[in-house]
Chain A
């Protein structure tokens, strides 16, 4: 059922409400590029019930960031649910806590029918009031939710009855369902305890038991989960192992069955080991890029920025620093994005001669500028530095720790050049241009502003139908303007990797890379 019909016609499309459809939707959470050894269901074919899954995570839970997409992904879809969830292959929303919905033809309102009989972990039934709370909560600046701009478009919320709610929008937005994929439904009474990590109450497959900062999180099965017979596991333990090598060792030593957060380089020792499976998603890990501060001369000249784009060898970064996992691309989009095209991905091949010619044309020589980078990606920074040096741009590497990097990114205080990675290109393309700090049309780290860019972004964002030819054309325009202006020079679309013991089956993620274990079991 194509999503266009939901958006374009008054005809309301009722979603199948059966649990089977939900299960299907969740199972569909595997990506289109899930190409690595993701082995089929266990030889026996029958999922096994019971047992506790041990997960190793590089990062710890940060409760203050509960309502954002952040590095810790093993809580959002374990404890909570969302109204809808995408099938990542098609970006079609599938029912979750909402069993059906109707979008008005003008794209300015949406009505949800909620699933009945769903209970929070504290026994309270889930109703329309919880949806109202969730939307208002995301609008609150102190939650720093990346999709706040989209939540803010919801002007009025009408509760029709406890199981039906209508949202009125200020203007149509093409990324509306990105919001419902993003927005976790939490118990409204305990939200202040949730953001301090004391109490997490949702409707999800697992009940939060405890969090020991820096050490572990523990979850137990939710016996009243609204999908019958799910989840299979009796419990989930997440161990925080902040060192990449130790995490790989823990996996090999069978202390954990699933490692999350590893990069391509880390998995080299287990890549060829038949004991383990490596699942690769093109969503959730974002893309490596070089940003240019356009207020620093000569980076105000787009030819200089384009020269950088030609100078960097993207394939070599994938091969040498990412262990071969990732897509070299000059555009920010993963292959599953509606804005992806081969032509835009390959727009800037590695061509040092052309880079030199562009620099000469711009009259630039003897450049020596700082290049800030996140101190966890020293290797990529050194490769960028080397490639730039080959075309005559000398750089001094300035490492920043993650907190400082983030602060400078948001505060627009980056030096001439910086290397980092950005997310939010995996959903509807407008989400990137109105949400991600490097791209945000209203205020971005590069201090880039251009009426043409603003116009294109707004046009792409305000499309009432995300799949219409007009919307697709707007996404193409967005790609073109980004590729021409190059204030963000995209290098590699990263792969999100799950390294697991081969007995672990059915692990999935949503498009925000939140871990989904509804169908997971140990064969």
Chain B
């Protein structure tokens, strides 16, 4: 993953703007001539040891999840008579669970489910939160309304919100996505609103306004690209929060619908066997930890890159 980013980076040409939107066009980078500074601030941040480790952790797991059908020949929901066999026995590379299902394939498929939920929910949260932030900066009345809405959403502890949504909408992946979106809306919204308000009154923005830029052009060309920094970092943080939340909801039984595998569900099911079959709990535990640590490392790397 890390090398992909490096090789994708070189692309000579003029730098279009002083600031970049998230994932903006590749800037000239150091691949051709080593030790040259990477111009894109985010890439520069990611190319630190911290960023590379984060990308590697998330990339490997993402790849494993996507390639799940290729990596294992076992149906993750097939129950056999071989219950709780240890790694390596009876043709199961990583053993089986209490009702004889192959643990490796369940683990791989649960990464898939998990990442699917996260990759749908976080962008949705960003989109809605961002839209609300834009509404908030237009008018004082709208600002008050949006701010109170954020307060309302923030006042729910995440699992209580999860229980409420599940009670209303029934349970399954849809509810998890809804809960994650609802939780991410205020964090994205507040962050973006604050950043826009700060940058709107900066000298360069004032200069642009004097120069004849209309409100839309001012926002899209000048303010938003600069206000995006904290949001880019927040995307990575939000993903790690979403991974934890999916795990927690499935752990308490309001997440992914059985028999489909989920990281939290596997962890929950493994509890009675912690002592006799520790390998059972270890798998989902390692995956959740690696995902969260990886995503946090990426967030930290992006943050440092953006500030430099």
- Is A397's CB under 8 angstroms from B99's CB? no
Residues from 234 to 258 in B contacting A, C-beta threshold 8 Å: 253, 257-258
Given known pairs A383-B79, A397-B259, the reply for A320 and B99 (CB within 8 Å) is: yes
Q: A14 near B: Cβ within 8 Å?
A: no
A373-381, A445-453, A494-502 - interface stretch: A373-381
- Is B258's CB under 8 angstroms from A378's CB? yes
- Is A245's CB under 8 angstroms from B274's CB? yes
Q: How far is the CB of B82 from chain A (nearest CB, A)?
A: 10
Complex Cα distance A88/B98, Å?
Answer: 34
Q: A412 near B: Cβ within 8 Å?
A: no
Q: A385 near B: Cβ within 8 Å?
A: yes
Cross-interface CB contact of A397 among B258, B274, B276, cutoff 8 Å: B258
Q: B4 near A: Cβ within 8 Å?
A: no
Cross-interface CB contact of B275 among A269, A321, A378, A396, cutoff 8 Å: A269
Q: A399 near B: Cβ within 8 Å?
A: yes
Q: How far is the CB of B285 from chain A (nearest CB, A)?
A: 15
Q: Which residue of the partner chain B has the closest CB to A386? A: B79
Given known pairs A265-B98, A397-B257, the reply for A319 and B273 (CB within 8 Å) is: no
Q: A316 near B: Cβ within 8 Å?
A: yes
- Is A378's CB under 8 angstroms from B99's CB? no
Number of residue pairs A-B, CB distance < 8 angstroms: 50
Q: A266 near B: Cβ within 8 Å?
A: yes
Given known pairs A245-B274, A268-B272, A268-B276, the reply for A382 and B253 (CB within 8 Å) is: no
Chain B residues whose C-beta falls within 8 Å of the C-beta of A375 in the assembled complex: 253
Complex Cα distance A378/B271, Å?
Answer: 14
Chain B residues whose C-beta falls within 8 Å of the C-beta of A319 in the assembled complex: 83
Q: Which residue of the partner chain A has the closest CB to B171? A: A399
- Is A379's CB under 8 angstroms from B274's CB? no
- Using an 8 Å CB-CB cutoff, how does the interface string of B135-159 with A read, 1 for contact, 0 for none? 0000000000000000000000000
Q: B100 near A: Cβ within 8 Å?
A: yes
- Is B253's CB under 8 angstroms from A379's CB? no
Cross-interface CB contact of A320 among B83, B274, B276, cutoff 8 Å: B83
Complex Cα distance A399/B269, Å?
Answer: 15
> How many of chain A's residues have a CB under 8 angstroms from any CB in B?
21
Q: B72 near A: Cβ within 8 Å?
A: no
- Is B273's CB under 8 angstroms from A268's CB? yes
Residues from 442 to 481 in A contacting B, C-beta threshold 8 Å: none
Complex Cα distance A266/B259, Å?
Answer: 21
Cross-interface CB contact of A382 among B171, B259, B271, B275, cutoff 8 Å: B259
Q: B77 near A: Cβ within 8 Å?
A: yes
- Is A379's CB under 8 angstroms from B276's CB? no
- Using an 8 Å CB-CB cutoff, how does the interface string of B77-106 with A read, 1 for contact, 0 for none? 111010100000000000000111000000
Residues from 191 to 232 in B contacting A, C-beta threshold 8 Å: none
Q: How far is the CB of A315 from chain B (nearest CB, A)?
A: 10
- Is B269's CB under 8 angstroms from A379's CB? yes
Chain A residues whose C-beta falls within 8 Å of the C-beta of B83 in the assembled complex: 319-320
Cross-interface CB contact of A386 among B77, B271, B276, cutoff 8 Å: B77
Q: A244 near B: Cβ within 8 Å?
A: yes
Chain A residues whose C-beta falls within 8 Å of the C-beta of B273 in the assembled complex: 268
Residues from 262 to 308 in B contacting A, C-beta threshold 8 Å: 269, 271-276
Complex Cα distance A399/B172, Å?
Answer: 10
- Is B98's CB under 8 angstroms from A379's CB? yes
- Name which of A269, A319, A320 has the most chain B CB atoms within 10 A of its CB: A320
- Is B79's CB under 8 angstroms from A269's CB? no
- Is B99's CB under 8 angstroms from A269's CB? no
Q: How far is the CB of A416 from chain B (nearest CB, A)?
A: 17
Complex Cα distance A339/B273, Å?
Answer: 37
- Is B272's CB under 8 angstroms from A320's CB? no
Chain A residues whose C-beta falls within 8 Å of the C-beta of B276 in the assembled complex: 268-269
Complex Cα distance A316/B257, Å?
Answer: 22
- Is A320's CB under 8 angstroms from B275's CB? no
- Is B253's CB under 8 angstroms from A265's CB? no
- Is B272's CB under 8 angstroms from A321's CB? no
Complex Cα distance A81/B234, Å?
Answer: 63
Complex Cα distance A454/B81, Å?
Answer: 41
Chain B residues whose C-beta falls within 8 Å of the C-beta of A399 in the assembled complex: 171, 253, 257-258
Chain A residues whose C-beta falls within 8 Å of the C-beta of B78 in the assembled complex: 386
Q: How far is the CB of B265 from chain A (nearest CB, A)?
A: 8
Complex Cα distance A502/B98, Å?
Answer: 28
- Is A245's CB under 8 angstroms from B77's CB? no
Chain A residues whose C-beta falls within 8 Å of the C-beta of B98 in the assembled complex: 265, 320-321, 379
Q: Which residue of the partner chain A has the closest CB to B265? A: A378
- Is A381's CB under 8 angstroms from B258's CB? yes
- Is A266's CB under 8 angstroms from B272's CB? yes
Complex Cα distance A383/B97, Å?
Answer: 12
Chain A residues whose C-beta falls within 8 Å of the C-beta of B100 in the assembled complex: 320
Complex Cα distance A110/B238, Å?
Answer: 71
- Using an 8 Å CB-CB cutoff, how does the interface string of B24-67 with A read, 1 for contact, 0 for none? 00000000000000000000000000000000000000000000
Chain A residues whose C-beta falls within 8 Å of the C-beta of B81 in the assembled complex: 316
Complex Cα distance A386/B98, Å?
Answer: 14
Complex Cα distance A244/B250, Å?
Answer: 18
- Is A265's CB under 8 angstroms from B259's CB? no
Complex Cα distance A429/B209, Å?
Answer: 87
- Name which of A316, A319, A396 has the most chain B CB atoms within 10 A of its CB: A316
- Is B99's CB under 8 angstroms from A245's CB? no
- Is B259's CB under 8 angstroms from A244's CB? no
Q: Which residue of the partner chain A has the closest CB to B84? A: A320
- Using an 8 Å CB-CB cutoff, how does the interface string of A230-248 with B read, 1 for contact, 0 for none? 0000000000000011000
Residues from 385 to 414 in A contacting B, C-beta threshold 8 Å: 385-386, 396-397, 399
Complex Cα distance A66/B272, Å?
Answer: 31
Chain A residues whose C-beta falls within 8 Å of the C-beta of B258 in the assembled complex: 378, 381-382, 397, 399
Complex Cα distance A321/B83, Å?
Answer: 10
Q: Which residue of the partner chain B has the closest CB to A272? A: B276
Q: How far is the CB of B259 from chain A (nearest CB, A)?
A: 5
Q: How far is the CB of B76 from chain A (nearest CB, A)?
A: 12
- Using an 8 Å CB-CB cutoff, how does the interface string of A307-331 with B read, 1 for contact, 0 for none? 0000000001001110000000000
Complex Cα distance A301/B98, Å?
Answer: 34
Q: How far is the CB of B99 from chain A (nearest CB, A)?
A: 5
Q: Give 3 nearest A-B pairs by CB, closest first.
A: A320-B83, A386-B79, A382-B259
Task: Please give 10 more A-B residue pairs, beta carbons under 8 A apart, in addition to A268-B276, A321-B98, A386-B77.
Answer: A268-B272, A320-B98, A320-B99, A378-B253, A379-B98, A379-B99, A386-B78, A397-B257, A397-B258, A399-B257
Chain B residues packing against A (C-beta within 8 Å) = 77-79, 81, 83, 98-100, 171, 253, 257-259, 269, 271-276
Can you name 20 A-B residue pairings with CB atoms under 8 Å?
Answer: A245-B272, A266-B272, A269-B275, A269-B276, A316-B81, A320-B99, A320-B100, A321-B98, A321-B99, A375-B253, A379-B98, A382-B99, A383-B79, A386-B99, A396-B257, A397-B257, A397-B258, A397-B259, A399-B171, A399-B258
